[in-house]
Amino acid sequence: MRIAVLSDIHSNIVALDAVLRHAADIDSIWHLGDVVGYGPEPDAVVERLSERKATGVRGNHDAAAIGGREIDWFNPEARAAAEWTSDTMSSASRAWLADLPERLTIGDMTLVHGSPRDPLREYITDSEVAAANLEVLQTPHGLHGHTHVPVAWSATPDGVALVQARDTTALELGTSRTLLNPGSVGQPRDGDPRAAYLVLDLEVGRVTWHRVVYDIEPVQAGIRAAGLPVRLAARLAIGA
């Protein structure tokens, strides 16, 4: 089975559709949360994932959009976008997000948004945090997002090894515990504005990261038309 793993779509339907076209030959879709927030099309993104029967977990922006306290820790731009999303999205989208768990185990994989030890808030950005989360991981491998940067962290006899994933970077999944981050579909932050995702091939035990060009300008126009903070539009062009 080949699975497209998506994270941090952030209400960017143009990027999501580009990724789904690129991943047309996959068997299933998993998502790692932050389906909404920042972008101008929350209902369209939820509807598309629902249509494709995507399986996944709740992110901190999803939680904030349905009334969670996560919004208390947001910066002003994120808070403004979360409030707009909450006021704008449909009751059907709200119910779909509310049904998402914070953690999901599927076979050898644990799915979370932030980290295994703190699914909604913690960022895995360095080897110390990665090591602590590999220690508590209850399955051989973990899938997470939240940082918007495509990487892998693997346990080694000497500590933790980092793989900074680029387009078509492939990693064989062995016996070492591994945390896999697909990067962001809708708002990359690694200096590459292309949408990011990964393909998990369960039959051969391989992960491959991909980048997909999409038309950024209509998304920027939608952000501006919605009255969302203008920097949320500008950053899409530089992947930051």
Look up the CATH number of the domain holding residue 11. Answer: 3.60.21.10
Answer yes or no: are the C-beta atoms of 196 and 150 closer than 8 Å.
yes
What is the per-residue pLDDT for 239?
95
**Order of strands across the sheet with 206-212?**
55-56, 28-31, 2-6, 195-201, 206-212, 170-172
Q: Which domain holds residue 56?
A: 2-237
Q: What is the pTM of this model?
A: 0.96
Answer yes or no: are the C-beta atoms of 114 and 108 closer than 8 Å.
no
What is the per-residue pLDDT for 70?
87
CA distance 100 to 95: 9
What is the per-residue pLDDT for 73?
87
What is the per-residue pLDDT for 174?
85
What angle (nearest 5°) sits at the alpha carbon of residue 181, between those of residues 175 and 184?
160
The structural domain count of the chain equals 1
What is the per-residue pLDDT for 176?
86
> What backbone torsions phi and psi does residue 109 show, to the nearest 5 degrees?
-115, 135
Q: What secondary structure letter does DSSP report for 90?
A: -
Q: Name the strand (E) or helix (H) holding 206.
A: strand 206-212
- Each residue's pLDDT expressed in tens, for the chain with a length of 240 residues: 999 999 999 999 999 999 999 999 999 999 999 999 999 999 999 999 999 999 999 999 999 999 988 889 899 999 999 999 999 999 999 999 999 999 999 999 999 999 999 999 999 999 999 999 999 999 999 999 999 999 999 998 888 999 999 999 999 998 889 999 999 999 999 999 999 999 999 999 999 999 999 999 999 999 999 999 999 999 999 999
Pairing of strands 109-111, 141-143: parallel
**Order of strands across the sheet with 104-106?**
104-106, 109-111, 141-143, 178-182, 150-156, 159-164
Q: Which residue from 164, 27, 47 is spatially nearest to 9, judged by alpha carbons?
A: 47
71 Cβ contact list (under 8 Å, min separation 6): 64, 79, 82, 83
